């Protein structure tokens, strides 16, 4: 008997799930031991022209009836957003259906409720596609590395912003035109604010941190900054220092092991770092574990087809579990680590100041750094007269002290404007 799938959503990802299920039906049936069949597809607008080759009768706007239909075995949720996705997944689980979802926003907001519900119902919830598109990353974290202690997960987890930053760096392209291209290529979320303001990467960071550190982490715990403030000037400053600007997700256990820090923000990264060479919408993630050492995961991080590959991998895994009469619940979080505030995170700042070109400026600026206990690693002057700019890179200091330094620099008479502030990181690789 066929395994009946309810597909929720038939947009960029959902339509590729349909295509792959059709094109690979024979291979999938062989891997699963039974054919896969689409039992219904829930969408927002049934009247929309879709190039799926499927019977139009399969489409419905009544997603709730579809997920609870007795003949449905498995639900694939690729609608996105919080509601109705949350209610639909919970209803499916309650009705005994296993679920595959790519919905990082929901998992990062309400993951514990969904995992608890799945465990209680004895069904699977798989979500490999929710972080880093096609890259197999969550199952290695959850299963392969379950016997190790992970200290850091660090990487590029948003394809849209990497695409934009790469275009700005390599071609001098503008922000808006690069975002439009990323949208046309199917990389961006339906509301691209989620990408460019860092919400999408923050959700993924929360999911990664939860799995890596076996502790509850939600999107609200993540320090988040997007790329909307990154200017062409920042890109040029980074280039002058042999760096490239990347939006990084950094999940790190504290040295005493008692807390974790989870943050997403733009970083100036040395060009020789492997993450600096991740182009276009590709993603790459380093996992640093005590025994396994440093592992790098790299691949297509966004787009319909790569994401659908991860979704189908989960479908096959669930089908195999069903055959074996088992399910693979995420474990109960075995520790509850505090999430430490960004202010305690030790980092370095690159600061460019538009200044009056006169004696005493450097001394006044240095005094502010010293007053906040921040030491200056190097400083240079760019331009003269009206165009004079001081560019400073600090040594490592707590983020709170660095941020306070910048606020006080703004108040100096001789500082006309703070032209650029960005963290500089040189992670070992
Ligand atoms: N695009 C990507 O590269 C990646 C996306 N994801 C995730 O996958 C999910 C889907 O993304 P994507 O395919 O890009 O999104 P799209 O916006 O392209 O597709 C969303 C689909 O959901 C349907 N839909 C929206 N609201 C409802 C509703 N209330 N009831 C039923 N159906 C509804 C839409 O219907 P209609 O067609 O009628 O508008 C559409 O078919 C999201 O969680 C996203 O974060 C994960 C990794 C990569
Ligand atoms: N909008 C996301 C899609 C994949 O998760 C991205 O750009 O990475």
Domain residue extents for the chain: 3-133+305-324, 141-300, 342-424
Q: How far is the CA of 80 from the centre of ligand 1 (A)?
A: 5
Q: How far is the CA of 303 from the centre of ligand 1 (A)?
A: 12
Joined tokens for residue 286: 């380093």
Are the beta carbons of 283 and 277 closer than 8 angstroms? Answer: no
SS3 282: strand
Give the pLDDT of residue 212: 97
Joined tokens for residue 13: 């990802």
Rounded mean pLDDT for each run of 10 residues along the chain, 429 residues in total: 96 97 97 96 93 93 98 98 98 98 98 96 97 97 96 98 98 96 96 98 98 96 97 93 97 94 98 97 98 98 97 98 89 79 96 95 97 97 94 97 98 96 91
Among 4, 97, 104, 204, the one annotated catalytic = 204
d(CA 13, CA 84): 17
Residue nearest to atom 1 of ligand 2 (CA): 188
| Known catalytic membership, residue 204 | yes
Q: Which sign, positive or negative, has the C-alpha torsion 4, 8, 10, 12?
A: negative
Are the beta carbons of 275 and 137 closer than 8 angstroms? Answer: no
Phi, psi angle pair for 300, to nearest 5°:
-70, 120
Give the pLDDT of residue 335: 76
- The answer to whether the pTM exceeds 0.95 is yes
> Beta partners for 395?
none
65 to 7, 45, 88, 367: CA distances (angstroms) = 12, 16, 9, 67
Give the pLDDT of residue 35: 97
Query: Which of 7, 18, 80, 159 maximizes ligand 1 atoms within 8 Å of its Cβ, making it the mutation to test the pocket?
Result: 80
The H-or-E segment that residue 30 falls in is helix 25-32
Joined tokens for residue 74: 């498995």
**Any idea what the Cα angle at residue 169 is, between residues 175 and 418, rounded to 5°?**
70
Nearest in space to 249 (alpha carbons), one of 126, 137, 115? 137
Give the pLDDT of residue 329: 76
> Beta partners for 354?
389, 417
d(CA 195, CA 157): 10
Give the pLDDT of residue 331: 65
Phi, psi angle pair for 274, to nearest 5°:
-55, -35
Q: How far is the CA of 33 from the centre of ligand 2 (A)?
A: 32
**Candidate CATH numbers 3.30.365.10, 3.40.50.300, 3.30.70.260, 3.40.50.1240; the one for domain 342-424:** 3.30.70.260
d(CA 146, CA 257): 17
What contacts 94, CB < 8 A, 6 or more positions away? 117, 121
Residue nearest to atom 26 of ligand 1 (CA): 44
d(CA 397, CA 370): 12
What contacts 406, CB < 8 A, 6 or more positions away? 349, 351, 418, 421
- Is 159 touching ligand 2 by the criterion CB < 6 Å? yes
**Which of the ligands is closest to the CA of residue 195?**
2
**Which of the ligands is closest to the CA of residue 186?**
1
Q: Which sign, positive or negative, has the C-alpha torsion 148, 149, 151, 152?
A: positive
What superfamily would CATH give domain 3-133+305-324?
Answer: NAD(P)-binding Rossmann-like Domain (3.40.50.720)
d(CA 10, CA 42): 8
CATH 3.40.50.300 corresponds to the domain 141-300: no
Joined tokens for residue 85: 């996705």
Give the pLDDT of residue 405: 98
Residue nearest to atom 4 of ligand 2 (CA): 302
Residue nearest to atom 3 of ligand 2 (CA): 302
């Amino acid at each position: 008997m066929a395994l009946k799938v309810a597909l929720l959503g038939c947009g960029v990802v959902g339509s590729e799930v349909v295509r792959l299920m059709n094109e690979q039906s024979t291979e999938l049936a062989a891997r699963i031991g039974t054919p896969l069949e689409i039992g219904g597809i829930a969408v927002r607008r049934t009247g929309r022209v879709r190039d799926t080759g499927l019977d139009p009768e399969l489409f419905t706007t009544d997603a709730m009836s579809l997920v609870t239909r007795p003949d449905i075995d498995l639900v694939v949720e690729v609608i996105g957003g919080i509601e109705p996705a949350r209610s639909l997944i919970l209803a499916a689980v309650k009705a005994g259906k296993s679920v595959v979802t790519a919905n990082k926003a929901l998992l990062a907001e309400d993951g514990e409720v969904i995992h608890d519900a799945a465990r209680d119902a004895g069904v699977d919830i798989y979500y490999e596609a929710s972080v880093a598109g096609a890259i197999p990353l969550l199952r290695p974290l959850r299963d392969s590395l379950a016997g190790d202690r992970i200290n850091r997960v660090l990487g590029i987890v948003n394809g849209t912003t990497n695409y934009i930053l790469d275009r700005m760096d390599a071609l001098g392209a503008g922000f808006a035109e690069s975002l439009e291209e990323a949208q046309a290529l199917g990389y961006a979320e339906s509301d691209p604010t989620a990408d460019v303001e860092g919400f999408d990467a923050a959700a993924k960071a929360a999911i990664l941190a939860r799995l890596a550190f076996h502790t509850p982490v939600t999107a609200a715990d993540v320090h988040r900054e997007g790329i909307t403030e990154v200017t062409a000037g920042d890109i040029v400053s980074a280039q002058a220092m042999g760096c490239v600007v990347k939006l990084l997700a950094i999940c790190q256990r504290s040295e005493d092991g008692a807390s974790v820090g989870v943050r997403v923000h733009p970083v100036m990264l040395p060009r020789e770092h492997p993450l600096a060479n991740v182009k276009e919408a590709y993603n790459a993630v380093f996992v640093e574990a005590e025994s396994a050492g440093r592992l790098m995961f790299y691949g297509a991080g966004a787009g319909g087809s790569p994401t659908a590959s991860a979704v189908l991998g989960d479908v096959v895994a669930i089908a195999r579990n069903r055959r074996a009469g088992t399910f693979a619940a995420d474990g109960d979080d075995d520790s509850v680590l505090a999430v430490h505030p960004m202010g305690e995170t030790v980092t370095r700042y690159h600061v460019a100041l538009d200044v009056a070109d006169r004696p005493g400026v450097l001394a006044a600026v240095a005094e502010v750094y010293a007053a906040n206990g921040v030491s200056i690693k190097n400083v240079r002057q760019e331009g003269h007269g009206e165009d004079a700019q001081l560019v400073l890179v600090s040594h490592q200091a707590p983020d709170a002290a660095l941020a306070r330094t910048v606020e006080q620099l703004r108040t100096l008479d001789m500082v006309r404007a703070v032209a650029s502030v960005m963290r500089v990181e040189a992670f070992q690789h």
